[in-house]
Amino acid sequence: MIKLELSNDFNLDDTVTCGQIFRFDKELDNSYTIILDDRVINIKKEDNTLLVESNNEDNLKNKIIEYFDLDRDYDNINKQILLMDSKLKKVIDSCIGFKIIKQYPFETIMEYIISSNNRVPSIRNSLDKISEKYGKKVTFKNKIYYLFPNYIDLKNVSIDEFRTFKVGFRDKYLYDVVQSINKNDLNIDEIYKLDTDKSLEKLMSFNGVGPKVSSCILLFGYQKFDVFPVDTWVKKIMKEEYNLDTQEKIIKYAKENYKEYSGIVIQYLFHYNRNKK
DNA sequence: CCCCAGGTCGTCA
DNA sequence: TGACGACATGGG
């Protein structure tokens, strides 16, 4: 068990449950058990302290800080966003302590290809099935978990086998991208070095990866915040509040107005809209 | 049984 | 370009 004192606002509940990540459980004591690339953690917030346990506590503190983006100055970012667009005041107020989670890129690619025209429980189910068959088994607090496999582990998975993971028509998309990564046609580390437009172009050259999916991959997998993944929710808000009715107009507006914080703004909008109802 | 999901593709005009 | 249906799967 490690303790981590928080020096700024952190809303653990919203950050975990808002749809950025899929493989987590809420426990009876309000803590969360999360499968976090190379380990399983259990995390709980008490006042200004994070209590974290893991099957592997090596470097755990840094891992948590990195994963939950705790070192970034979100207060300052929120101020900047407000200066750019004062209409976002109520949205930002509802998102204090919300962070963009840093996920492992390969897992993010697979997750968001599966996410297209799909529901969260179904996405979760497919990710679990893939992990159960190909991921490393971990025992933590007397329960069994499976880490998400690496691309090398999935090298020999056929299209038909992907179908057994209940991914539906996305089977061939997953197969193609896994093959491409294994052949180094797509180098997942190189994406870090490319600028956002080049990365989007590279990712969208794959079938099943469009503007929304590629933007999510860059946002959650690569911390490229100058993307704007437009989905049905955000489309609705931007139409109502800004009278922008096409994806192109929305992206253009976000680029010009929110610049390098576009990804954070869109995540705030998504979160705000889901919570208000 | 119909509808739809944090979309994308293929196919037409 | 722009619109429109199809697409696997599961839940309401």
pLDDT at position A245 is: 82
Whether A276 has a pLDDT exceeding 80, the answer reads no
Within 10 Å of residue A30's Cβ, how many Cβ atoms? 11
Tallying the residues shown for chain A, one arrives at 277
Calculate mean pLDDT across residues A66-72.
Answer: 97
Which residue's CA lies closest to nucleotide C9 at its C1' atom? A168
AA identity, residue A118: N
Nucleotide nearest to A209 (CA to C1'): B8
CA dihedral of A106, A273, A267, A43, whole degrees rounded to 10: -70
Tell me the backbone φ, ψ of residue A55, rounded to 5 degrees.
-70, -20
pLDDT at position A14 is: 94
Q: Cα–Cα distance between A100 and A110 in angstroms, integer?
A: 18
Summarised one tens digit per residue, pLDDT across range A128-162 is 999 999 999 999 999 999 999 999 999 999 999 99
Please report how the helices A247-258 and A74-84 are oriented relative to each other, as an axis angle in degrees rounded to 10: 110
pLDDT at position A218 is: 97
Summarised one tens digit per residue, pLDDT across range A115-128 is 999 999 999 999 99
Nucleotide nearest to A165 (CA to C1'): C9
Q: Cα–Cα distance between A90 and A241 in angstroms, integer?
A: 13
Q: Is the CB of A192 under 7 A from strand C?
A: no
